[in-house]
Chains A and B, each alone.
Chain A
Amino acid sequence: MTMIGLEIHCQLNKLQSKLFCSCKANYRGYAPNTNVCPTCLGLPGSLPRLNQKAVEKATMIGLALNCTTPEKLAFFRKNYFYPDLPKNFQITQLNIYGQTSIGGEGSIMVGDKKIRIRRVQLEEDPGRLIYEGTSEKTQVTLVDYNRAGTPLVEIVTEPDFENPKEVRDFLNILFNLLENLEVADPSLEGSMRADANVSIQGGPKVEIKNIGSFHDLEKAIHFEITRQESLATRNIAIIQETRHWDDRRKITISARSKEEELDYRYFLEGDIPWIRIKKEIVENLKKDMPESISAKKERYVSKYDIAPQVADVLSSDKFYSDLFEKAHNETNAKEIANIITTDLMGLVDTREKKEASKLTAQHLSELAKMIIENKISRISAKKALQEIVQTGESLDKIVSSLDLGNVSDMSELDSVIVKVVEEEPQAAQQAKTNPATINYLVGKVMQKTKGKADPKLTLEILKKRLS
């Protein structure tokens, strides 16, 4: 059996400040080495001061993954030399004196399968290296410490995945969960990264590191399974090792053996005192936590009678569910859900489009009202939606300027129907006996009114005319 485990790193980039100082947690967009201070540069004499908000948010992630919360929290030093590490040690967590990491054993459902979480830990991100030869300008390797000290949460799973698809489904759920908790924007470049370990047929565990994107993660796992399987069929021993993902050649290659011999000499970080996490604090955090995706879905189904598949899609994505929450009321909920899942999701399907969208909750509720009151057809509503997303104009203005309102003037509609009956004598005759043909005539009316006729009303008048 194939066993796959993951180590996911996610930056808590929605926080105001870094893990141990007051520099910005979202370092993007600053000139190199300007989002820094003595502490995140690790200057001699500087000390870390723990960001309490980061502790709260990371605890929330643990709770959302059904993890246990430790009574006492401790930080450890992981000692190794690397130029992106200002102090040549990373402040992280470890469970060697009992559970002291921010989240203990937990689990999350992926479809019908339970994926166990081994632990969640809070740590600091290192700086960034820009390697020699990356561009013509970089003759030497450069270091940018703007990222150093960004709060990072590491989520370690048990090897409960059997194939790359399960990994993908899990990551999608995790991505949405983190976004829903408002702790991170995982879509920012480099803010969510994952390493994988893969073993087949109970064989040794191979770790894959250096994977740039989730897309590549799937490929890397797939490659690794194939590699191990082909070794196994030829009776060649699989070695327990760390392999790096080669982004260009799309293969995994064995890391230098030195790396595996690294001894991190973990010991307690004395500059951060042990922190007692009181039960009340955890209870308060639970109250403050945004409603979980599954609770949201449950509510949509039971309270508004929204179809489970629709509720699933709607609750998973924070952008859409936030819109829904603001726009809906008792009467229009189903319609709003409908508009979002059938029309809007096709129009704004990327992060960029979501950010550019000018649609407000008010637009949505007004549009739903028009549909419910038969003042606009679904086809026209879609057109209006498209226009709103682009321009942000009021619905009234768009409906009148594009002439999208339903033909509600009875005499006007009646005259169109008379005309259709005249033009289609044969169909009109058949329709008297065959109800299927009536629909053909309704279609003709819709054509003539460019979809603005109310189909119900049209049918009613037609029936009267033909009888």
Chain B
Amino acid sequence: MNLNISATQFIEHVKNGDTTVEEFVSSTLDRINTVEEKIHAFLSVNEQAIEQARKIDKKIKGRERVGRLYGLPISIKDNICIHGSRTTCASKMLENYVSPYDATVITRLRDQDAVFVGKTNLDEFAMGLTTEFSAFGPTKNPWDTNYVPGGSSGGSAASVAALECVASLGSDTGGSVRNPASFCSVVGLKPTYGLISRYGLISYANSIEQIGPMARNVEDTALILDVIAGKDPYDDTTIDNKNQSYASELDAGVSGKKIGVIKEMIGSGTQKEVIHATEKAISNFESLGAKPEEVSIDMVDYSVAAYYTITATEAGSNLARYDNLRYGYDLPLEGFEFNSYISKARKNFGPEVTRRMIIGGFVPSAGFAGRYFLKALKVKSKLTEEINKIFKDYDLLISPTVPILPFKIGEKIDDPIALFLTDFNTVTANLTGKPAISVPFEISNGLPIGIQILGDALHDKQVLQAALALEKTTSLPEAPPL
């Protein structure tokens, strides 16, 4: 069975009776069985997927109401809670944690008859850009298994690219959806902050992160967003999108749109292949009738430093609950003293989480907050001011998603600063709450390059429309040669 079809095609096939949900899901599970040993995108596979598929088939046969996803196989990043499933955050600390409730996004997908095929790998607690920091082993890039798939939603991106599902949900705190989307040549959207409920997303840096859809094309990405977006009584930070439809009128094009090309994001640290691809994307936009112009955002140079200061502070607080009292692992309690308990209990965090929690204990502490944390907040608000001003004159902004090409597994794992800089182009959208998407644009010597499109808050649809226009100008290989 051809698994390389879009969500729209899948739904058509099921509606026409060309395939049953069970047949497609079962082929998908077979595919997972075959390719997993090569790429390790999943941490767990849903044993009940076939059963769920059968139930939907039964509804279709019985002409009952069927949700608009018609049994679409979706993978879910393992930091999003599914009732009764293990939700590990790729951490030893939650190795055996089974969530007793569904995240709001899961409820909404379930209501529309999605089938969850499994939970995908990530950097522990979503901290990382390569998925190498998973406590359960790295995910490999389906385009070349010696390379990292990006991160932290590396498992989600790889599973979509490797045809182990049609779409996936990742989470994006500083680029964690867009970075692996770029590295694995799939589409990944970080929506406006508050557009998608975070209820059931295990927090890392809650003030800037969002769940984001990932798929093999822009249309599918928009469809998933359409199902999961909107106000949620369980998340006070969600905003009212007035039931905007994201799945319709997507081919509005970019004619007449003013597009700012962010100068700071195509700087000295950008690889020449990436610069070349970005220039090509700019000229493609121009030929579609858009008006690209160079713009400068001064604060971008400080954004990565601010990003790591803010995220470490919030992580230090959000992850403090993993003290092994309520959930965790076996730890002999003999000889424990109150004050040393917490540090001993936390030994099971991996190196990257430990690093960020130590930073997170320091930067907001008394005597240092003014020098670090409060300064980072100042950068955040100045950056937002600056970008708001730019959006008065421009409809969209573009840049390469990642300044560099995918690199080899193990190549940068011991160089945290080099890894941090991989985030350079993506953190701005998180710090300012703006929507941003990564669109696959080129395969350079077998390695994918993605282009990032940023929009103003709640202009997620305009971002998707521009992404679709750009997507139409590309001709990429259909699937990685696994």
Of A44, A143, A270, which contacts B94 at CB under 8 A? Answer: A44
Q: Is the beta-carbon distance between A86 and B365 smaller than 8 angstroms?
A: no
A267 to B311, CA, bound (A): 12
Of B198, B233, B320, which contacts A88 at CB under 8 A? Answer: B320
Q: Is the beta-carbon distance between B101 and A44 smaller than 8 angstroms?
A: no
CB closest residue in chain B, given A143: B325
Contact with B along A266-285 (1 / 0, CB 8 A): 11101111000000000000
Q: Is the beta-carbon distance between A45 and B199 smaller than 8 angstroms?
A: yes
Q: Is the beta-carbon distance between B235 and A263 smaller than 8 angstroms?
A: no
Contact with A along B199-242 (1 / 0, CB 8 A): 11111001100000000000000000000000001111100000
Q: Is the beta-carbon distance between B320 and A38 smaller than 8 angstroms?
A: no
A46 close to chain B: CB less than 8 A? yes
From known contacts A38-B100, A86-B326, A270-B206, infer whether A49 and B234 are also in contact, taking CB-CB under 8 Å.
Answer: yes
Choose, from A77-85, A109-117, A233-241, A428-436, the stretch at the interface.
Answer: A77-85
Contact with A along B118-129 (1 / 0, CB 8 A): 000000000000
Q: Is the beta-carbon distance between A47 and B202 smaller than 8 angstroms?
A: no
Q: Is the beta-carbon distance between A42 and B321 smaller than 8 angstroms?
A: yes
B99 close to chain A: CB less than 8 A? yes
B196 close to chain A: CB less than 8 A? no
How many residues does chain A have at the interface if contact means C-beta atoms less than 8 Å apart?
30
Q: Is the beta-carbon distance between B236 and A270 smaller than 8 angstroms?
A: no
Query: Chain A residues with Cβ under 8 A from B233's Cβ?
Result: 49
Q: Is the beta-carbon distance between B207 and A258 smaller than 8 angstroms?
A: no
B428 close to chain A: CB less than 8 A? no
From known contacts A43-B100, A44-B97, infer whether A77 and B317 are also in contact, taking CB-CB under 8 Å.
Answer: yes
B313 close to chain A: CB less than 8 A? yes
A32 close to chain B: CB less than 8 A? no
B1 close to chain A: CB less than 8 A? no
Q: Is the beta-carbon distance between A79 and B317 smaller than 8 angstroms?
A: yes
Query: Chain A residues with Cβ under 8 A from B394's Cβ?
Result: none
A175 close to chain B: CB less than 8 A? no
Query: Chain A residues with Cβ under 8 A from B339's Cβ?
Result: 258
Residues from 1 to 58 in A contacting B, C-beta threshold 8 Å: 38, 41-50
B265 to chain A, nearest CB (A): 26
Query: Chain B residues with Cβ under 8 A from A45's Cβ?
Result: 79-81, 87, 99, 103, 199-203
Of B87, B100, B361, B364, which contacts A267 at CB under 8 A? Answer: B364
Q: Is the beta-carbon distance between A87 and B321 smaller than 8 angstroms?
A: yes
Query: Chain B residues with Cβ under 8 A from A38's Cβ?
Result: 100-101
A265 close to chain B: CB less than 8 A? yes
A214 close to chain B: CB less than 8 A? no
CB closest residue in chain A, given B362: A265
Q: Is the beta-carbon distance between A265 and B237 smaller than 8 angstroms?
A: no
B279 close to chain A: CB less than 8 A? no
Query: Chain B residues with Cβ under 8 A from A268's Cβ?
Result: 207
Of A47, A258, A265, A266, which contacts B198 at CB under 8 A? Answer: A47
Contact with A along B249-271 (1 / 0, CB 8 A): 00000000000000000000000
B373 close to chain A: CB less than 8 A? yes
Residues from 67 to 96 in B contacting A, C-beta threshold 8 Å: 79-81, 87, 89, 94
CB closest residue in chain B, given A266: B364
A88 to B317, CA, bound (A): 8
Q: Is the beta-carbon distance between B234 and A47 smaller than 8 angstroms?
A: yes
Q: Is the beta-carbon distance between B373 and A267 smaller than 8 angstroms?
A: yes
CB closest residue in chain B, given A89: B317
**Chain A interface main SS type:** loop
Q: Chain B, interface size: which category?
A: 35 or more
B105 to chain A, nearest CB (A): 11
Of A41, A48, A267, which contacts B317 at CB under 8 A? Answer: A267
CB closest residue in chain A, given B207: A270
Of A83, A267, A273, which contacts B237 at CB under 8 A? Answer: A273
B323 close to chain A: CB less than 8 A? yes
CB closest residue in chain B, given A267: B364
Q: Is the beta-carbon distance between A263 and B206 smaller than 8 angstroms?
A: no
CB closest residue in chain A, given B208: A270
Q: Is the beta-carbon distance between A265 and B317 smaller than 8 angstroms?
A: yes
From known contacts A44-B99, A263-B366, A265-B361, infer whether A81 and B317 are also in contact, taking CB-CB under 8 Å.
Answer: no
Of A81, A263, A271, which contacts B342 at CB under 8 A? Answer: A81
B460 close to chain A: CB less than 8 A? no
A88 to B315, CA, bound (A): 12
A276 to chain B, nearest CB (A): 14
CB closest residue in chain B, given A256: B339
Query: Chain A residues with Cβ under 8 A from B235's Cβ?
Result: 47, 49, 271
B314 close to chain A: CB less than 8 A? yes
A50 to B207, CA, bound (A): 16
CB closest residue in chain B, given A264: B366
A42 to B100, CA, bound (A): 12
B440 close to chain A: CB less than 8 A? no
A426 to chain B, nearest CB (A): 87
Query: Chain B residues with Cβ under 8 A from A79's Cβ?
Result: 316-317, 320
A47 to B236, CA, bound (A): 8
Q: Is the beta-carbon distance between A87 and B87 smaller than 8 angstroms?
A: no
B415 to chain A, nearest CB (A): 28
From known contacts A38-B101, A47-B234, A79-B317, infer whether A265 and B199 are also in contact, taking CB-CB under 8 Å.
Answer: no
Query: Chain B residues with Cβ under 8 A from A87's Cβ?
Result: 320-321
Query: Chain A residues with Cβ under 8 A from B320's Cβ?
Result: 79, 81, 87-89
Q: Is the beta-carbon distance between B207 and A48 smaller than 8 angstroms?
A: no
CB closest residue in chain B, given A268: B207
Q: Is the beta-carbon distance between B81 and A88 smaller than 8 angstroms?
A: no
Residues from 46 to 70 in B contacting A, C-beta threshold 8 Å: none
Residues from 318 to 350 in B contacting A, C-beta threshold 8 Å: 320-321, 323, 325-327, 339, 342
Q: Is the beta-carbon distance between A271 and B206 smaller than 8 angstroms?
A: yes
Query: Chain A residues with Cβ under 8 A from B237's Cβ?
Result: 47, 270-273
Q: Is the beta-carbon distance between A265 and B325 smaller than 8 angstroms?
A: no
CB closest residue in chain B, given A46: B199
Contact with A along B349-366 (1 / 0, CB 8 A): 000000000000100111
Query: Chain A residues with Cβ under 8 A from B234's Cβ?
Result: 47, 49
Q: Is the beta-carbon distance between A86 and B99 smaller than 8 angstroms?
A: no
Q: Is the beta-carbon distance between B81 and A44 smaller than 8 angstroms?
A: yes
CB closest residue in chain A, given B235: A47
A47 to B202, CA, bound (A): 9
A267 to B380, CA, bound (A): 15
Q: Is the beta-carbon distance between A88 and B366 smaller than 8 angstroms?
A: no
- B-to-A contact residues, CB < 8 Å: 79-81, 87, 89, 94, 97, 99-101, 103, 198-203, 206-207, 233-237, 313-314, 316-317, 320-321, 323, 325-327, 339, 342, 361, 364-366, 369, 373
List 17 additional contacts besides A42-B321, A265-B365; criterion CB under 8 Å.
A41-B326, A44-B202, A45-B79, A45-B103, A46-B101, A48-B236, A49-B234, A79-B320, A81-B320, A81-B342, A86-B321, A86-B326, A267-B373, A268-B207, A270-B207, A271-B235, A273-B236
Q: What are 12 contact pairs spanning A and B, CB under 8 A?
A: A38-B101, A43-B100, A44-B81, A44-B87, A44-B89, A46-B200, A47-B198, A265-B369, A270-B207, A270-B237, A270-B314, A271-B203
Q: What 3 pairs across the A-B complex have the smallest Cβ distances? A: A270-B207, A88-B320, A44-B202
